[in-house]
Amino acid sequence: MSNEYAVEMRDITKKFGGLIAADSVSFKVKPGEIHALCGENGAGKSTLMNVLTGKFLASSYSGEILLNGNKVKINSPKDAKKEKITIVHQELELIPDLSIAENIFLGNQPTTATGVNWKKMNAEAQDILEKFSLNLNVKTKIKYLTVGQQQLVEIAKAIYLGGNVLILDEPSAPLTGREIDFLLATLEKLKKTGISIIYITHRLEEVFKLSDRVSVMRDGKMIDTFSTKEINVEELVAAMIGRKMENMYPDMDTEVGDVTLEISNYSVPHPLYDTNIVEDASMKFRAGEVVGISGLLGAGRTELMSAVIGAYKMKGNGTVKLNGKEVKFNSPAAAIKAGIGYVTEDRKMTGLILNQSIRFNVSMASLSRIIEHGVLSPSKEKVIVNELKDGLHIKTENIENPVSSLSGGNQQKVVLAKWLATKPGVLILDEPTRGVDVGARFEIYMIIKELAAQGNTIIIISSDLPEIIGISNRVYVMYEGKVHGELLKDELGEDSIMRYATGIA
Ligand SMILES: Nc1ncnc2c1ncn2[C@@H]1O[C@H](COP(=O)(O)OP(=O)(O)OP(=O)(O)O)[C@@H](O)[C@H]1O
Ligand SMILES: [Mg+2]
């Protein structure tokens, strides 16, 4: 038997109840290749990888798995590990209250006769971080890291664990320019050692930068596998969504009105050190505007906006005015009441209650709109939630299903629906399309533009440069906690943003 393929999945069919998440899927990966796996939210990408990495008992699906030409049964994550398959899951799996080092060596700690060998563990962990150019102290608890840093720790851990097959399920979603470039360069290097890398992403530019081949899934089926060199972005998108897409960003002019939110000389103390994580930031936002906030990981974007609305663990100092009146929010609930919605960066931690229904999650921030004469109106609630479900194309049969049953991108749409339901005058979106597929992204951009056209203010924090350029009227760029530049529509470009974001300009 030839060993042309490191991994061969044959006719995999996996059902969840009546739903066919993988429908007779075949997928082959060569040794030493980077193989991108693309498809819309809910297409079945994570399910296929979960099959390969032992999340499900082999008896719960049909089909065969071959590794280097040999048939194997993978019944558990342990089996996958034995077969030298490593995965970085779409949702972060680190334990917040343990240190970086403890997380890296979880279940695998070096020991002495009397217990864990802390010294050895910490030293080795520090070594791994350094190899990965991560400037963090390994004794820091995971919960003090940003989502992007957590992701880098997970990737460093996976690469350190090694194996013959490395699967990354949307690894770049929380990362920004420099970190992504570093990740891609690291994977290029790794590939040369002969291992196979399966790379799931919704950022199509990464597919073209990185992959040798790309496979596309749609509605649980494997549509095709292409050599990346032989396909262009339009063809790839067409394979993913089953039709041609004319435009990535809606073209819509909005009328700009008065200043709604104004932040002046605003600083936020660092939670751990005796410095400011945001320093003397001033920004103005007007009705009818979509304003982007750009910057690298750790530039202070999320800290600034979450402190302003009372969602950050540290209190900020400075002036915040809403429609000309000075305001101070001690909690996001107070901000919502005043008409500011905030879509959080980290849906698992702060955005959603996963085991509750879609209906519950969507309506929980807007109960005041759904309550009639002091009682919750279930019929009104259903109408509002169903409208948003249809508008955002949330892929589910029933809004009573738990959020945990949705694919990652569809969970993100639920977060967005929750805030849209509050009808905020000012809507702050922190990485709103993270993990969202191209088709749904366009729908979200349309909604953003429509909200702006209705006179609302939209503030969008995004690490996706094409997105922030495509959708914003204006962009503030932050660098090391400071507002480092402001770019108007006709000055917007990847170069101009990166110059400010890296402190060159
Ligand atoms: N544990 C589960 N229970 C029920 N349904 C599930 C479960 N996991 C996934 N599904 C369903 O299977 C289908 C495929 O989901 P999957 O997570 O594989 O999609 P995906 O391609 O990874 O999407 P995304 O890009 O949004 O991450 C979806 O319809 C999803 O709702
Ligand atoms: Mg997925």
pLDDT band at 9 (very low <50, low <70, confident <90, very high): very high
In the predicted structure, residue 106 carries a pLDDT above the cut 70: yes
Which amino acid residue places its CA nearest to atom 28 of ligand 1?
A: 42
Above pLDDT 70, what percent of the chain? 98
Whether 168 shows a pLDDT value over 80: the answer reads yes
Q: Is the CB of residue 492 less than 8 Å from the CB of residue 290?
A: no
Ligand 1 atom showing the smallest separation from residue 47 Cα: 18
Amino acid at 502: T
- Across 203-207, 283-287, 384-388, the highest mean pLDDT is recorded for 283-287
Kindly tell me the burial class for residue 235, based on how many C-beta atoms sit within 10 Å of its own C-beta (0-12, 13-18, 19 or more). middle
Query: How do residues 107-119 score in pLDDT, each as one tens digit?
Result: 778 888 888 889 9
Rounded average pLDDT over 225-253: 84
Q: What's the start-to-end Cα distance of the chain, in Å?
A: 58
Q: What is the largest CA-CA distance in the chain?
A: 75
Rounded mean pLDDT, 341-369: 80
| Residue of higher predicted confidence among 200 and 150 | 200
Residues 6+ apart with CB under 8 A from 53: 74, 77, 80, 85, 87, 167
- Ligand 1 pocket residues where CB is under 6 Å: 16, 19, 21, 39, 41-47, 90, 395, 405-410, 437
| Domains detected in the chain | 7-241 (3.40.50.300), 257-339+425-437+455-505 (3.40.50.300), 352-423 (no CATH)
Q: What is the atom index within ligand 1 of the atom nearest the CA of 435? A: 25
- Confidence check: pLDDT of 251 > 80: no
DSSP 8-state class, residue 317: E
Q: Ligand 1 centroid to 417 CA: how many Å?
A: 19
Q: Residue 483's pLDDT is what?
A: 96
Q: Which atom of ligand 1 is nearest to the CA of 406?
A: 31
Over residues 477-498, the mean pLDDT reads 92
Structure confidence by residue, pLDDT tens digits, 182-202: 889 889 988 998 999 999 998
Instruction: Give per-residue pLDDT as tens, 380-436.
Output: 889 989 998 988 888 888 999 999 998 878 888 888 888 888 888 999 999 888 878
- DSSP notation for 375-425: EE-HHHHHHHHHHHHHHTT---S-TTSBGGGS-HHHHHHHHHHHHHTT--S
Residue 215 has pLDDT above 90, yes or no: yes
Mean pLDDT of the region 192-216: 93
pLDDT number for residue 345? 67
Query: What pLDDT shows up at residue 348?
Result: 58
Identify the bridge partners of residue 39 per DSSP, sorted by sequence position.
217
What is the pLDDT, as a whole number, of residue 1?
46
> Is 80 exceeded by the pLDDT of residue 3?
no
Taking the centre of ligand 2 as the mean of its atom positions, its distance from the CA of residue 26, in whole angstroms, is 18
3-state secondary structure of 137: coil
Look at residue 346 in the predicted model and tell me its pLDDT. 66
Q: Which two tokens stand for residue 394?
A: 């949330």
277 contact partners, CB below 8 Å, separation of at least 6: 268, 269, 270, 271, 300, 303, 314, 481
Give me the chain's average pLDDT, please. 89
CA-nearest of 40, 450, 30, 72 to 239 is 40
Residues with CB under 5 A from ligand 2 (ion): 46, 90, 408
**H or E segment to which residue 3 belongs:** none
In the prediction, which pLDDT does 199 show? Answer: 96
Give the position, in ligand 1's atom list, of the atom nearest the Cα of 410. Answer: 26
Q: Where are the beta strands (DSSP E) in 74-183?
A: 85-88, 111-112, 115-116, 165-169
Looking at residues 128-150, what average pLDDT do you find? 86
140-155: average pLDDT: 86
pLDDT at 281: 97
Mean pLDDT of 428-446: 85
Whether residue 360 is predicted with pLDDT greater than 50 in this model: the reply is yes
Q: Can you tell me which atom of ligand 1 is nearest the CA of 409? A: 26
Give the pLDDT score at 218: 93
Nearest protein Cα to ligand 1, atom 6: 405
Can you tell me the mean pLDDT for 217-228?
95
Site to probe by mutation for ligand 1, drawn from 14, 16, 437, 443 as the one with most ligand atoms within 8 Å of Cβ, is: 16
Residue 295: which of 147, 149, 464, 145 has the closest Cα?
464
Give mean pLDDT, residues 59-84: 94
CB atoms closer than 10 angstroms to residue 264: 14
To test the pocket of ligand 1, the residue of 37, 46, 355 to mutate (highest count of ligand atoms within 8 Å of its CB) is: 46
Beta-carbon contacts of 177 under 8 Å, excluding residues fewer than 6 positions away, are 296, 463, 465, 498, 501
Instruction: Quickly state the pLDDT bin for 347 (edges 50, 70, 90).
Output: low
* Backbone phi and psi for residue 474, each to the nearest 5 degrees, phi listed first: -160, 150
Q: Residues 48, 220: contact at Cβ < 8 Å?
A: no
Cα–Cα distance between 477 and 498 in angstroms, integer?
9
